[in-house]
Structure 1
């Protein structure tokens, strides 16, 4: 791997972590409790796991120029993995067994406030 590629990768990872922190703060301001960051499961990695009431939100954080680009950045296969990962986590945690698992998106764009889209792919 070239040095330039390693540096770009490190910068991208750092930007991703900052984006996830911004998304978590945004969700907490909306009344969500953050249960985890970057949770690795056999099904895939969950950027944020958040809860509000009976809703367990599996949150994907995407930084793109527009909301539409952020929504399109998560394909059907990834959505399926995220749904399965959220359901598996909820099944393993007694306090979450009765929670409704939902896929949310927090879209970040330069110069704009975060945009939270609950149940972002309900029609997909």
Structure 2
């Protein structure tokens, strides 16, 4: 792994930990982290009052770069991964959604609830 890739990996893990902490402060319970599937990876799985959220976390050095951090192609990969494992994390009657949490230094986290609506 190159040094640049290793740094990106470390920053990604730090961002996911920060995102999980922020979501828990909002009343969510952490169910799982970094769930790998053949379709891709799900950064966080959180639960709150009949809802299970599969969360894609994006961190950028500059807040201005967050606008292009997530797109339909990336979200479709997350959705494919969710389809593979949703039954393992959601109980009958719980609603499912895919959220995005955008993070950058010096800014408040930006939570996009129900970001994937195919």
CA distance in 2, matches of 1:21, 1:81: 21
Structure 2: distance between partners of 1:103 and 1:11: 27
The structure whose Rg is larger is 1
Structure 1 length normalisation: TM-score? Answer: 0.80
1:71–1:105 Cα contact (<8 Å) kept: no
Deviations 1:93-113 (A, max 9, x none): 4x5243222111111011122
In the TM superposition, residue 71 of structure 1 has moved relative to its aligned partner by: 5.2
Structure 2-normalised TM-score?
Answer: 0.83
Equivalent-residue separation in structure 2 for 1:85 and 1:54 (angstroms): 21
Runs (5+) with no aligned partner, structure 2: none
Return 112-121 or 6-15, whichever deviates more.
Answer: 112-121
Cα 1:98/1:44, change in 2 over 3 Å:
farther
Contact (CA 8 Å) 1:38, 1:45: kept in 2 or not? Answer: yes
State the 4+ residue runs in structure 1 displaced beyond 4 angstroms: none
Unaligned runs of 5+ in 1: none
| 1:11-50 paired onto structure 2 within 5 Å | 11-50=7-46
> Contact 1:58/1:103 (CA < 8 Å) preserved in 2?
yes
- 1:47 Cα offset (Å): 0.7
The answer as to whether partners of 1:90 and 1:97 remain within 8 angstroms in 2 is no
Alignment length (residue pairs)? 117
